[in-house]
Amino acid sequence: MINRLVSNIKKTGAPIVAGLDPMLGYIPEHIKAAAFAEYGETLEGASEAVWQFNKEIVDKIYDLIPAVKPQIAMYEQFGLPGLAAFKKTVDYCKDKGLVVIGDIKRGDIGSTSAAYAAGHIGRVQVGEKSYAPFDEDFVTVNPYLGSDGVNPFIDVCKEEKKGLFILVKTSNPSSGEFQDQLIGGKPLYELVGEKVAEWGASCMGDDYSYIGAVVGATYPAMGKVLRKIMPKAYILVPGYGAQGGKGADLVHFFNEDGLGAIVNSSRGIIAAYKQEKYSRFGEENFGDASRAAVEDMISDIKGALESR
């Protein structure tokens, strides 16, 4: 799957991922009105609005980008109907040729991580049959429980040719509270980064490992250090755009080959129509605003990489 991600990135020339993190506040009124007319102001209605919103955006941008990253929390908040919309979104994006990164940030003791891995990137056995319940291509994993919480995900990746992005340094303001603490003079995130490199060494695709890392765009200096610690890990970089990261901050997340990182933008793409810059499209044409935002993001990052 890492080879497909890299080939999709080369084909589109776009090391970016669209974060499909729909909040009801982002969804245009006409979409919500249609969904509520059909299902009422219910969890089903909200989930239908989320799905129709996603579908329109994906239809408008799928040819420009290699991958999407649906954040499962935004679906899980609407209960079972919301999770059904998550699954529909995963399937639809895969049908469009996109690599799907399930942003699930799971992680638990061994047997429990094994269940999450089976449900999200693997298969679960029921009698003589087996099923792939959510079937994302990659998932994000929280490393706080250590190797035996991560290994069951890695085992499933090996079997199913899937991949992981492990949280190393997250994009949020208080990520340093624990992640930056010095251990023998070295911050915790470096220690986790070293582990990611170690876990990833036996999980190589053609040029990159399918065990990647999450490092926030909001911490470019740390990104530069982590790039060196994990030379073969793909880095998923959240925090571009709405969270404050800019193209120029991102160059050190990439290797010399222009590969090795994939930058996520969520609000900046899916709610682009709400920005002054894209208001010319109008709420009705929110998908076109998203397309314009993707094109601008691609050229921002391309420009930054070319002028480094």
Interactions with a second copy, residue window 223-252 (CB under 8 A): 238
* Marked catalytic residue, from 87, 96, 105, 302: 105
CB of 155 to a second copy, least distance (A): 14
Judged by CB under 8 A, the chain residues 10 through 29 that form the site for a second copy are: 21, 23-24
Q: Which is nearer to a second copy, 84 or 305 (CB)?
A: 84
Contact with a second copy (CB under 8 A) among 46, 213, 261, 292: 46
Tell me which residues in 249-308 interact with a second copy (CB under 8 A): none
Q: In the bound complex, what is the minimum distance in angstroms from residue 204's beta carbon to a second copy?
A: 23
Decide whether 2 or 192 has the Cβ nearer to a second copy: 192
CA distance linking residue 13 with residue 305, whole number of Å: 12
**Cβ of residue 57: shortest distance to a second copy, in angstroms?**
19
- Catalytic residue at 10? no
What residues from 142 to 181 belong to the interface with a second copy (CB under 8 A)?
142-149, 167, 170-179, 181
CB of 199 to a second copy, least distance (A): 11
Pick from 65, 101, 118, 298 the residue near a second copy by CB under 8 A: 118
Residues 49-78 vs a second copy: string with x where CB under 8 A? ----------------------x-xx-xxx
30, 131, 277, 279: which one contacts a second copy (CB under 8 A)? Answer: 131
